[in-house]
Amino acid sequence: MLTFILIVVNILVFSLPYVVNFQGPFDSFTNFLMLGWKDNAAIREGEYYRLVTSNFLHADITHLMVNMLSLYNVGPYVNSIFGNLGFLLIFFASGIGSSFTSFWFNQNPSVGASGAIFGLVGSLCAVAIATNNFALLANIGIVILINASIGFLTPNIDNWGHFGGFVIGLITGAILLLISSLNGGWNPEM
């Protein structure tokens, strides 16, 4: 259910500049993106909200659809393992971590939910390691290799954001698994 809600929110945010005219030097869509994308100078000046808002903006319809398809495929698994609160914690921590990593290592503006989605994949990697599920770990490895190859071969993809999101998701997932196992409330069946 949360996956569906996040997909709807992303689609609504993408649609907003086509419904509301955002005035500025460019078209409504570009002006809208500029209000919330990861802009290093603006973040340095205190616009920290961009570390979150950039995760809900997408450069074009293809970017939106690829990310929403990825979220649709990964989200329900993470939600079933970590529950609603854990899922949201991983998604938002990974998204913010992705933006922060991008802030430090990428000077270009960036947008997209892919860093948060890489974080969801990172949390599944924590599950695979914790349960010695080498088949899942191999599948995650293949997904990461394919995405890394696309990222390095395609200009304007924020690989630092993807990396940061994955690492934060891995760490957050591992911490949640540890807390849950200490409380006796985690069942590692998949």
Q: What are phi and psi of 57, to 5 degrees?
A: -110, 150
Q: Using a pLDDT cut of 90, give the percent of the chain over it.
A: 86
Catalytic residue among 58, 98, 102, 162: 162
Catalytic residue among 70, 94, 114, 123: 114
**How confident is the prediction for the chain on average, in pLDDT?**
94
pLDDT of residue 181: 84
Q: Has residue 188 got a pLDDT over 60? A: no
63 catalytic per annotation: no
pLDDT classification of 8: cutoffs 50, 70, 90: very high
Architecture of domain 2-182: Up-down Bundle (1.20)
Question: What is the per-residue pLDDT across 125-147, written as a single tens digit (0 to 9) for each?
Answer: 999 999 999 999 999 999 888 88
Q: Enter the tokens of residue 136.
A: 């899942």
58 catalytic per annotation: no
CB count in 10 Å sphere of residue 164: 28
The DSSP code for 59 is S
Where does residue 153 rank: exposed (0-12), middle (13-18), buried (19+ CB within 10 A)? exposed
Q: Has residue 156 got a pLDDT over 90? A: no
Q: Where are the domains of the chain?
A: 2-182
Greater model confidence, 144 or 58: 58
Kindly write down the DSSP assignment for every residue of 135-184, as one continuous string: HHHHHHHHHHHHHHHHHHHSTT--HHHHHHHHHHHHHHHHHHHHHHHHTT
* Predicted structure pTM score: 0.92
Largest CA distance in the chain: 56
Where does residue 119 rank: exposed (0-12), middle (13-18), buried (19+ CB within 10 A)? buried
